[in-house]
Chains A and B, each alone.
Chain A
Amino acid sequence: MTETLSKQQYLDFYYYMRMTRSLEERLTILFRQNKVIGGLYRSLGQEATAVGSAFALRDGDFISPLIRDMGAMLVKGVKPQELFKQYMAKDGEGTSHGRDLNIHIADMKRGYVGPISQLGDMVPVMAGIALAGKMQGKNIVTMVYLGDGASSTGAFHEGVNFAAVLKLPMITIIENNGYAFSTPTENQCLVKDFAVKAKGYGIPGEIVDGNDVIAVYQATCRAVDRARAGEGASIIEAKTFRMLGHAQHDNQSYVPKEVLDVWHEKDPIKNYQEFLKNNNLADDASLKEMDEKILAYLEEEADIADRAPFPQPESSLEGVYF
């Protein structure tokens, strides 16, 4: 499938991974200035999984992202200023109007469904979206992201099994990033490869290098093709690593430094830059230009969010019912 990628697509992968990282870096600064409210979770080192997988979808498809999947939301068309406002608890179009936090925002038109915090609960919901798509003859695909930890929930099991049995076009992306908060994967589940779980549901499970954006894209394309062809659900396990603590408050002292060093070498963005240069798709100057363009854009977007108003107190009473 690599052959079919255009130069622009290769560059888009880079653009969105870089955008994800830079956006999160900007959020970190805002967090330190007490402008980001509540916790801040980063996807440092995992950008390729979110971006590569989302690129395999088309308009009309749906994702349900988790805290490490801001990149997938960007691909789906969320605007940085919407995310900035959302993280700063501000009001505005495309936010939850201060009612919910971080990536908990939804847009049925752009195709992202905000999760609730209760891990695993989005799997049945995304199965339902896939089911309706099938009933309505829409030929859409849904994709639900979750971590290795979230795959220990009952809701995960019920949702995946349900989608499998009903042959629903739902792809479950298990982002195996080594840890669930402080819990290493071996304390979460005894199989080394989470993709193996697919066997128990009678659906395909594929392992992919989660730090290789092209590999993630291709694996997801295969699952999407199957789903669109009516062959049902599948699981993709993206092997990656959480390069920062669970959230800003966690310095992840429990992660051995040697492990981090190994994964540092596998940085998805750094390695992809090399790939682009080696294949004459970019050079240092063009990459630098792109990076600067992104930073300038984010600066404007963050400014807009900074100037945006907080929601009106009384507005909290609205919207519980129709």
Chain B
Amino acid sequence: MAVVTYLEAIRQALSEEMQRDENVFLLGEDIGVYGGAFKVTEGLYEKFGSQRVIDTPISESAIVGAACGAAMMGMRPVAEIQFIDFISCAFDQLTNYAAKSRYRQGIGIPIVVRGPCGGGGRGGPFHSQNVESFFLNTPGLKMVEPATAYDAKGLLKAAIRDEDPVLYFEHKFLYRRIKEDIPDDDYIVPIGKAKVRREGRDISVITYGAMVHVALEAAEKLQHEGIDLEVVDLRSLLPYDKEAILNSVVKTSKVILLHEATRIGGYAGELAAVIAEEVFDCLDGPIVRVTAPDTPVPYSPPLEDFFLPNAEKLMKAARQLAAY
């Protein structure tokens, strides 16, 4: 066991998987000699060499497309997108090539496409986005977003070993802000399994990524007001753990869906539909969403702070729902 940051946990997963399986290799911009824009891959070029840690031109479409091709040949590519916002440049390769290959030609594409997502860093509209909804409507893709260092390592290993394309979102706000004791040895966190981070009686907060920490903070504070939140960390967005979600909602009878991404067409909408379809009778109040508003991510601190969901906004929504 050793205390590592979320970022170091990601690096450990990459390093251990490369050690374990010689077919695992990395490709992306500035990931080799420089060690990545956020230094996630630091030291891996020295350890595994330029054949397995490949610095590429600024060509996201080629990075993802080439990863697909290599995967078809038995390799296990892990592509880094410098900021996940730039995944838009590889949209076609992901949604039309990678996602549909197994279905239409019986060939799996075991790639991982990872990159930093999320706001809070004053990065403005193109370095702060949460892009899961762009891909939610694409059968064939998987998506995960860890909230802890433990999960960051375990989910990445699971993603690399998965037989299908996995988008791995790492919240850049968490990179160096959270750390924990995690096992040095091999373990995985299975894709598709949520985790209850905090047990509670009154309201289920279903969330993922950096918002898990927001939910836990709100839960601590609300405890003093006699409102007991249960916090469910989805970890996997596609496929998602329907059972865990429904179990929690049935238990508390009230639910808040919390995410950092914007509202319309956001992930919460899908969850709300499933909850309404399957356990409507158990609900004692409306299904509530706490999300960012429907604007691009603004840059200026007062604007970004206004934009991002936080503990106060969640607490306000929870108080209203508790009183319902």
Contact = CB atoms under 8 A, between A and B. Distances in A.
Interface in B110-140: 121-127
A313 B34 contact: no
Given A188-B57, A254-B33, A104 B89 contact: no
B301 interface: yes
Given A183-B57, A313-B303, A254 B125 contact: no
A101 interface: yes
A154 B59 contact: yes
B298 A316 contact: yes
A100 interface: yes
Contacts of B305: 313
Given A38-B123, A181-B30, A188 B58 contact: yes
Given A152-B58, A254-B34, A89 B301 contact: yes
B40 to A, nearest CB: 14
Interface string B58-78: 111110000000000000000
Nearest to B34: A182
A153 B85 contact: no
B320 interface: no
B12 to A, nearest CB: 23
Interface stretch (A59-67, A113-121, A131-139, A286-294): A113-121
Nearest to A189: B57
Contact of B89 (A91, A118, A313): A118
Nearest to A37: B122
Contacts of A315: 303
B58, B301, B306 pick with most chain A CB within 10 angstroms: B58
Contacts of A101: 122-124, 299
B239 interface: no
A276 to B, nearest CB: 37
Contacts of A100: 124-125, 298-299
A312 B89 contact: no
A153 B294 contact: no
Contacts of A311: 300, 302-303
Contacts of B123: 38, 101
Interface string B243-285: 0000000000000000000000000000000000000000000
B126 A117 contact: yes
Contact of A316 (B29, B34, B60, B303): B303
Interface string B305-321: 11100000000000000
Chain A, interface SS category: loop
A188 to B, nearest CB: 5
B58 A99 contact: no
Contact of B299 (A38, A150, A153, A314): A38
A37 B303 CA distance: 13
Interface in A80-125: 89-91, 96-101, 104, 116-120
Contact of B33 (A117, A120, A182): A182
A101 B122 CA distance: 9
A42 B59 CA distance: 24
Interface in B48-96: 55, 57-62, 83, 85-86, 88-89
B192 interface: no
B45 to A, nearest CB: 11
Chain B, interface SS category: loop
A224 B302 CA distance: 43
B190 interface: no
Given A149-B57, A153-B89, A90 B300 contact: yes
A89, A90, A96, A312 pick with most chain B CB within 10 angstroms: A89
A90 B302 CA distance: 10
A117 B127 contact: yes
Contacts of B57: 149, 152, 183, 187-189
B122 A117 contact: no
A11 to B, nearest CB: 36
A196 to B, nearest CB: 16
A304 interface: no
Contact of B301 (A37, A99, A314, A319): A37
A38, A97, A180 pick with most chain B CB within 10 angstroms: A38
Contacts of A152: 57-59
Nearest to A117: B126
A99 B299 contact: yes
B288 to A, nearest CB: 20
A189 B62 CA distance: 14
A285 interface: no
A98 B30 contact: no
B200 interface: no
A90, A150, A189, A311 pick with most chain B CB within 10 angstroms: A311
Contacts of A37: 122, 299-301
Contacts of A316: 293, 295, 298, 303-304, 306-307
20 contacts: A91-B300, A98-B298, A98-B300, A99-B300, A100-B299, A116-B125, A117-B124, A118-B126, A120-B89, A149-B57, A150-B58, A154-B59, A154-B62, A180-B58, A182-B33, A183-B34, A311-B303, A316-B298, A316-B303, A316-B307
Interface of B: 29-30, 33-34, 37, 55, 57-62, 83, 85-86, 88-89, 121-127, 293-296, 298-307
The 9 closest A-B pairs by CB, nearest first: A98-B300, A182-B34, A117-B126, A313-B306, A152-B57, A89-B300, A316-B303, A101-B124, A149-B58
